[in-house]
Amino acid sequence: MTRNTTDRVWFVTGASSGLGLAFTRAALAAGDRVVATARRTALLDPTLAEHPGRLVVLPLDVTDREAVAATVDKAAAAFGRIDVVVNNAGIMTSGTVEEFTETDARAQLETNFFGALWVTQAVLPHLRARQSGHIIQISSVGGIIGFATTGLYSASKWALEGMTEALAQEVAPFGIKVTIVEPGGYTTDLYTTMRTQPRHEAYEPLHTALAEMWGDAEDADPAKAADAVLALVDSDRPPLRLVLGSAMYDVAQDAADRRKADWAGWEATSRAAG
């Protein structure tokens, strides 16, 4: 890996807490400049003000496409360019597929998929003009494998990953790098702010079993994820995908092995249908 030591300008969504705040802190600590955006900017850590001249804070609801375009333009004007884009803003709603309301199903996609899409579309003209840049889409282990009661969250992340695979091929000729980051569990407010769908009695045994399974789970420090993302943007040849977390790395490998086994087990049927 060749380390890039030139200072960069970051555009981070969902920067008021959790991973977004960790990315912002890490970038500033590395000597970079950051445009930090969030729906509620008042929640940003006041210690970030210790970096005068290198931090701009802008309010942004990523589901508002016009606001996204205007905010990206302000960000580019603030420091003269954008180098690293981190689509981190996201929400999570828990419930079985049958339990989901239409409103919450659409809200899950509006933030996690369409929000990232609007930001991506808005930054591309700026990155193409410079023939450089790095777009980082914060997905999840839920973008690798679906878990019971997080099906719509996974749907939003799988949509993001599918779009991003195509995007990477489309923008490579312009010198723009693209990476999907797939974190496991980190200590953020994703779970504390999570909405929960009204439970259907048919799924009570499942909810009980899952509560027992995940009750003792320990999440990691977001700063560790930020260190990994800094290493990612320092690389001249970043990967399309980066899994974060040892346990999640094993989950990802196991999921890939099981898919390959399914395909291989039905190879004759697949080929006969060609």
Q: Any idea which residues carry the catalytic annotation?
A: 139, 153, 157
**134/120 Cα distance (integer angstroms):** 11
Q: What is the four-CA torsion angle of 41, 123, 56, 12, rounded to 10 degrees?
A: 50
What is the C-alpha to C-alpha distance for residues 121 and 100, in angstroms, rounded to an integer? Answer: 29
8 Å CB contact between 136 and 164: no
Which residues are within 8 A (CB) of 71 and not within 5 positions of it... i.e. 6 or more apart?
37, 58, 59, 60, 122
